[in-house]
Amino acid sequence: MIVGIDLGTTNSLIAVWDNGAARLIPNSLGEMLTPSCVSVDEDGAILVGQAARERLQTHPQASAANFKRLMGSDKTLYLGKRGFRPEELSALVLRSLKEDAEAALGHPVTEAVITVPAYFSDAQRKATRTAGELAGLKVERLLNEPTAAALAYGIHLRDGESKFLVFDLGGGTFDVSVLDLFDSVMEVRASAGDNYLGGEDFVTALVEHFFAAASVPATLRADPHFMQRLAAQAELAKRALSEGPRATIRVANGDAQYALELDEAGFEKLCALLLARLRAPVERALRDARLPIAELDNIVLAGGATRMPLVRKMAARMFGRFPACDIDPDQVVALGAAVQAGLKMKDAALDEVVMTDVAPYSLGVATTMHIDADHFSHGHFDPIIERNTVIPASRVKRYFPLQDTQRVIELLVYQGEARMASDNIKLGALTIPLATGNAEGVDVRFTYDVNGLLQVEATLVHTRDVHTLVIEGNPGLLSAPEIAQRFQALSELKIHPRDHMENRTLLARGERLYQQLRGDERERLGREIARFEQALGTQERRVIVPAVDVFRQVLDYFDHQSFLLPEA
């Protein structure tokens, strides 16, 4: 059985293809969304998901989030004393999802389709593959997120040609992709995005406005607990504005109460700049795909932040029609990954679809430009595979040495869009020795496969000698022996038992709230936490089960109380 996994920046999900349909699998808390957060607790056990997210606030030094942004880099994040690479943290999230699926399905899960943003580079894709391996999963395929969203909408089942745009606004990133389905071939024609635009920016806008409009003293910006409470209330207000016309943000600080009521129009005004930023990536993707808006058959929404009516309105205004949003935008990518898993397993219910994607960046080499007889300009970037070329792709270009006396050609491989090679990302170098005496040409072939992995092959025209690229110790990636060693090390980590996760998550939430509260309320919550711990200590189901209910109600009360206070 192959599972489909959406390994997200904020949240991750796992789904299976079952009885002819894609189905999500809940985690041990019964939730479909597992926060992509990892934390190490006091006795060294690893916590993944909601408990880790709560601990981001109470134990920031022992917790991590947003590591998807670092995939493909060699950054080390420290949780307590132990350092983790981004792919190891992703592996812990994947492992937790794998265990949830195994518990639900009753058998081992060893193969997965994992989604990645369409713009992920070669190194980021390889790191994602490694994360899968470290989690004990064979990665059957890396699937572009927009392609997954399209599969969830069953666009691959349509007859004839269909051109559509996937508009994906997540917690921290905005991705736009233009896809084309023709004769059962799904092609990503172009992708563009803004890596620093997402749902969280709308919360920041609310927080900023709150300080000004509710006359909050600026000194409170330095109080992390006040800021956390405010951010949490702003998040709730943002969501409330997706459901109804009004929301109120109320935050207390000791005896001082600050409040702000906001309606949809007010919120829209606050977010005007953010909404305007949605336009440029859409335009770039359409331009790269050479497609006028009018030729799009469909617009598909993905990412939790597209639940916001103002984002939908903006999209409708841009496209002159309403986008498709029948599937929960949080779930659409994971469901599509499961559809792809179903295709892989050649389920009879699905027709075979050939899928193609595009290269997210231009890939090429550094060259020297001949300006006139005596003048050269070095270090120009010469793309061999251009951005948004349909992949798998294989392109060849012939290069010549500058002088007859030259004995080697130094091939420097780069990725990016800048004119000068040094402004792009260097992927590797290949030194090709030349036979003596003649200025012989070299055919440089770049082959980019469906998983976004690049191979460089240089063939000397005269001798047919072939050299393949050995990437110079890329600091962003692990070698095979390193992967094996880290797999072993991760397997030895103590993981918090799955069946205790619910209680552990409630306790983490209690601790987070305890830090946020003050005075009598803090004292009361302290007593409730102690009571809950005591109930857990009995290890008796008949004591624990009702205690869980009571404790959850207490936490809900404190988390939402500012909404329950009577109107001033």
Contact residues for ligand AMP, defined by CB under 6 A: 8-11, 170-171, 198-200, 235, 238-239, 242, 303-305, 307-308, 330
Q: Amino acid identity, residue 553?
A: Q
The CA distance from 455 to 259, in Å, is 58
Q: Is-catalytic flag, 397?
A: no
- Shortest Å, Cβ 239 to ligand AMP: 4
Q: Is-catalytic flag, 351?
A: no
Question: Which strands form 63-65's sheet, in the order they lie side by side?
Answer: 46-48, 37-40, 63-65
- Shortest Å, Cβ 201 to ligand AMP: 8
Q: Which is nearer to ligand AMP, 69 or 239 (CB)?
A: 239
Interacting residues of 373 by C-beta distance below 8 A, sequence separation 6+ = none
Which candidate in 68, 98, 163, 238 is catalytic? 68
Q: Which is nearer to ligand AMP, 334 or 508 (CB)?
A: 334
- Shortest Å, Cβ 180 to ligand AMP: 24
The CA distance from 297 to 146, in Å, is 15
The CA distance from 262 to 268, in Å, is 10
Which candidate in 168, 175, 187, 357 is catalytic? 168
> How would you classify residue 154: left for phi > 0, otherwise alpha for psi between -120 and 50, otherwise beta?
left
Give the 3-state secondary structure of residue 209: helix
Q: Is-catalytic flag, 122?
A: no
Q: Which is nearer to ligand AMP, 156 or 238 (CB)?
A: 238
Which candidate in 6, 54, 87, 140 is catalytic? 6
- Measured between alpha carbons, how far is residue 409 from residues 350, 365, 412, 438, 446 in Å? 50, 12, 9, 13, 17
Q: Which is nearer to ligand AMP, 263 or 472 (CB)?
A: 263
Residue 42, both tokens: 């006091």
CA dihedral 167, 171, 172, 177 (to 10 degrees): -20
Q: Which is nearer to ligand AMP, 311 or 365 (CB)?
A: 311
Q: What stretch of H or E contains 205?
A: helix 199-213
Q: Which is nearer to ligand AMP, 301 or 358 (CB)?
A: 301
- With CA atoms as reference, report the closest residue to 52 among 93, 15, 81: 93
- With CA atoms as reference, report the closest residue to 67 among 17, 123, 10: 10
- Shortest Å, Cβ 314 to ligand AMP: 14
Burial class of residue 386 (count of CB atoms within 10 Å of its CB; 0-12, 13-18, 19+): middle
- With CA atoms as reference, report the closest residue to 142 among 300, 319, 357: 357
Which candidate in 54, 87, 140, 145 is catalytic? 145
Q: Which is nearer to ligand AMP, 322 or 400 (CB)?
A: 322
Contact 203, 249 (CB under 8 A): no
Residue nearest to ligand AMP (CB): 199
- Shortest Å, Cβ 443 to ligand AMP: 44
Q: Which is nearer to ligand AMP, 173 or 362 (CB)?
A: 173
Q: What stretch of H or E contains 46?
A: strand 46-48
- With CA atoms as reference, report the closest residue to 511 among 257, 204, 223, 225: 225
Q: Which is nearer to ligand AMP, 199 or 416 (CB)?
A: 199
The CA distance from 118 to 145, in Å, is 6
- Shortest Å, Cβ 277 to ligand AMP: 15
- Shortest Å, Cβ 238 to ligand AMP: 5
- With CA atoms as reference, report the closest residue to 544 among 532, 560, 529: 532
- Shortest Å, Cβ 437 to ligand AMP: 60
Q: Is-catalytic flag, 145?
A: yes
> How would you classify residue 200: left for phi > 0, otherwise alpha for psi between -120 and 50, otherwise beta?
alpha
- Shortest Å, Cβ 222 to ligand AMP: 25
- Shortest Å, Cβ 65 to ligand AMP: 12
Q: Which is nearer to ligand AMP, 186 or 205 (CB)?
A: 205
> How would you classify residue 388: left for phi > 0, otherwise alpha for psi between -120 and 50, otherwise beta?
left
DSSP type of residue 10 = S
Q: Report residue 219: phi and psi, to 5°.
A: -60, -25
Residues marked active site are found at 6, 68, 145, 168
